[in-house]
Amino acid sequence: MAKMTLEELRRLRDKKQNELQKRDIEGKDSRIIIGMGTCGIAAGAKPVLDAFLEVLEEKHIDNVSVTQTGCMGLCYVEPTIEVIVPGMPDVIYGKVDAATARKIVEQHIIGKQLVTDHMFDRPAADIIKKDGGK
């Protein structure tokens, strides 16, 4: 990627914002985002990551991206992950381990059902989104 001018930066920003929205509306890709701050890793986020990759491959699911993020603010229930599946609410799961990862893929991603025992709320509104995070 080359050095940008002001206009190029603005265009990139718009492009990225649209991409994110498009994903929701057109229902293309699902995302699993894993909290990979030091607390998450210390609590066992790496095996969780590996478990997701393993199960997704096992089930031949290739439209789910698995990425990382920082502290979600739910340190007391690490490892935490966010699951974004089009048509379903974005959900945060905590106290995730390899077994839960499997359950999430099977129940939530494939079965479109929430996995009840591990659901947690984001602790605060998103100040970047204009409406606070809907």
Residue that is written with structure tokens 């990551």 in the block? 49
Comparison of 87 and 99: residue with beta carbon closer to other proteins:
87
Does position 114 bind other proteins by CB under 8 A? Answer: yes
Residue 110 binding other proteins, by CB under 8 A: no
CA distance 54 to 67: 14
Binding mask of the shown chain, residues 88 to 107, with x at each position contacting other proteins by CB under 8 A: xx----x-------------
Q: How far is the CB of 59 from other proteins (least distance, A)?
A: 17
Determine the Cα–Cα distance for residues 48 and 66; give it in Å rounded to an integer: 11
Residues 47-66 that bind other proteins (CB under 8 A): none
List residues binding other proteins (CB under 8 A): 1-6, 9-10, 12-13, 16-17, 19-20, 33, 35, 37-39, 41, 67-76, 82, 85, 87-89, 94, 112-114, 116, 119-128, 130-132, 134
